[in-house]
């Protein structure tokens, strides 16, 4: 499908006749639930001004598509509805998400490129993704990369947005087994404000997803041999970001010991914690403790650059870093 415009001020509501379906445990764990808008191998599609409500799973799912625009759309799902991500580009090229309001029961925006079989067979990364002037609220993550990223992700820009009351802000998640084509690189997060985000910045290379997610292979914090199973995270840049009323941690970066994160650069960042912060896990991985008011944690990075990074209201040390090849810190 090519050259299609879906424009209007109307609403698409999937739950008008079915009540609060997510309260039923059998429904929550049961059969596959449909996407609300699925774009498969489409080109030159614009969706503008439409509101999507009460999806049964991922709300908007562009799949192996390119030159797609989502302008001034709203995605509104109940906070307790599981797996109801907002917009999930998967193996897509040139996607613009501009002026969106997203409030959901899972990740607001999740950029993907398939699990191992699809990623290795088709080798189609998601690339050229722009998220700008968006309100992302009350999801598990604001802008998320992963964890189904076996085809890779590159050239992601998140700019001039507001994130409120999400569990995490920028969230990158992968794990052993995603494969060597899982190369995540050139990710930029700039001119963003966060309020009430429990942990604003997360890179987690031990994400405990899939049936083997809690196996020794995934959870082992010692170095394993680098192989065709090993994912790779390149460069993340965060600039001009204010984070207020955080709770668990300001930033949590945990690379694989056998494949450290290439580079994290943070510049002009302000992080403060709410006085009565709640305790929780900074990332979904095994063998870590619950935290609150933890400043910046970094482990297994080739380069960490912190310039004008200010953290207030933390407990303990402001920065906990080890396994860092090059550490640059400028006040």
Catalytic annotation, residues? 106, 140
172 near 236, Cβ under 8 Å? yes
Q: How far apart are CA 143 and CA 268, in angstroms?
A: 20
Q: Residue 287: which residues within 8 A CB-CB, separation 6 or more?
A: 219, 221
| Residue whose C-alpha is closest to residue 14's, from 67, 66, 65, 77 | 77
Burial 189-205 (b: 16+ CB within 10 A, else e): bbebbbbbbbbbbbbbb
Dist CA 127 CA 157 (whole Å): 10
CB count in 10 Å sphere of residue 145: 26
212: left (phi over 0), alpha (psi -120 to 50) or beta: alpha
The Cα 295–Cα 187 span in angstroms is 22
Q: Is 151 helix (H, G, I), strand (E, B) or coil?
A: coil
Q: What are the residues whose beta carbons fall under 8 Å from the beta carbon of 270, sequence distance 6 or more?
A: 241, 242, 243, 310, 312
Nearest partner of 98 among 106, 109, 107, 85, judged by Cα: 109
Q: In this structure, are strands 66-71 and 93-98 parallel, antiparallel, or unpaired?
A: parallel
């Amino acid at each position: 499908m090519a050259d299609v415009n879906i424009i209007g001020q109307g609403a698409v509501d999937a739950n008008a006749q079915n009540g609060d379906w997510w309260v039923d445990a059998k429904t929550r764990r049961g059969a596959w639930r449909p996407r609300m808008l699925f774009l498969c191998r489409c080109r030159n599609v614009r969706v503008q001004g439409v509101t999507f409500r009460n999806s049964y799973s991922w709300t908007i799912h562009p799949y192996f598509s390119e030159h797609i625009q989502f302008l001034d759309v709203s995605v509104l799902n109940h906070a307790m509805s599981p797996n109801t991500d907002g917009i999930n580009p998967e193996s897509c090229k040139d996607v613009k998400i501009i002026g969106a309001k997203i409030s959901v029961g899972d990740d607001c925006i999740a950029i993907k490129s398939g699990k191992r079989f699809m990623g290795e067979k088709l080798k189609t990364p998601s690339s050229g993704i722009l998220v700008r002037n968006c309100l992302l609220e009350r999801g598990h993550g604001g802008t998320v990369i992963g964890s189904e990223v076996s085809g890779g992700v590159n050239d992601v820009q998140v700019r001039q947005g507001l994130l409120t009351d999400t569990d995490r802000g920028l969230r990158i998640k992968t794990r052993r087994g995603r494969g060597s084509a899982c190369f995540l690189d050139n990710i930029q997060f700039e001119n963003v404000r966060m309020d009430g985000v429990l942990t604003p910045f997360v890179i987690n290379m031990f994400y405990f997803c899939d049936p083997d997610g809690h196996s020794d292979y995934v959870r082992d914090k010692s170095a394993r041999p680098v192989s065709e199973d090993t994912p790779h995270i390149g460069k993340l840049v965060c600039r001009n970001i204010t984070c207020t009323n955080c709770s668990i941690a300001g930033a949590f970066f945990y690379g694989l010991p056998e494949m450290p994160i290439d580079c994290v650069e943070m510049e002009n960042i302000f992080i403060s914690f709410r006085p009565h912060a709640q305790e929780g896990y900074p990332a979904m991985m095994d063998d870590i403790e619950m935290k609150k008011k933890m400043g910046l944690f970094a482990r297994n990075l080739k380069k960490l650059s912190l310039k004008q990074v200010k953290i207030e209201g933390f407990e303990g040390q402001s920065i906990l870093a080890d396994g860092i090849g090059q550490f640059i810190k400028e006040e």
